[in-house]
Structure 1
Amino acid sequence: MIILSILAMTCLVFLSRYLFLEPRLPLRLSPGVQKLLSYSSPAVLTAIWAPIVFTHDSQLNTSVSNPYLWAAVLAGIIAWKTNNVLLTTVVSMAVFLVLNLVVWG
Structure 2
Amino acid sequence: MIWLTIAAMALLVFASRYVFLEPKLPLRLTAQTQKLLSYSSPAVLTAIWAPIVFLPDGELMLSYKNPYLIAALFAILLAWRTKNVLLTAVLSMALFFIIS
Fold shared, TM-score > 0.5 on shorter chain: yes
In terms of Rg, which structure is larger?
Answer: 1
SS at match of 1:81: helix
1:103 aligned partner: none
- What are the ranges of 5 or more consecutive residues in structure 1 without an aligned counterpart? 101-105
Letter paired with 2:86:
L
Residues 6-46 of structure 1 show CA distances to partners (whole Å, capped at 9, x for unaligned) of 44433322221111011111111111111111111111111
Note the 1:58-77 alignment, pairs <5 A.
58-77=58-77
1:89 deviates by 0.5
Q: 1:5 to 1:87 in 2, by over 3 A?
A: closer
Q: Distance in 2 between the 1:84 and 1:55 partners?
A: 27
Q: Distance in 1 between the 2:90 and 2:12 partners?
A: 36
2:32 aligned partner: 32
Q: 1:53 to 1:15 in 2, by over 3 A?
A: same
Does the aligned pair in 1 maintain the 2:71–2:92 contact within 8 Å? yes
SS at match of 1:60: coil
Note the 1:60-99 alignment, pairs <5 A.
60-99=60-99
Q: 1:93 to 1:9 in 2, by over 3 A?
A: closer
1:61 deviates by 0.9
Letter paired with 1:31:
A
Q: Distance in 2 between the 1:91 and 1:4 partners?
A: 40
Equivalenced residue count is 100
Q: Distance in 2 between the 1:3 and 1:96 partners?
A: 36
- Percent identical across equivalent pairs? 65
Matched, 1:15 2:15: yes
- What are the ranges of 5 or more consecutive residues in structure 2 without an aligned counterpart? none
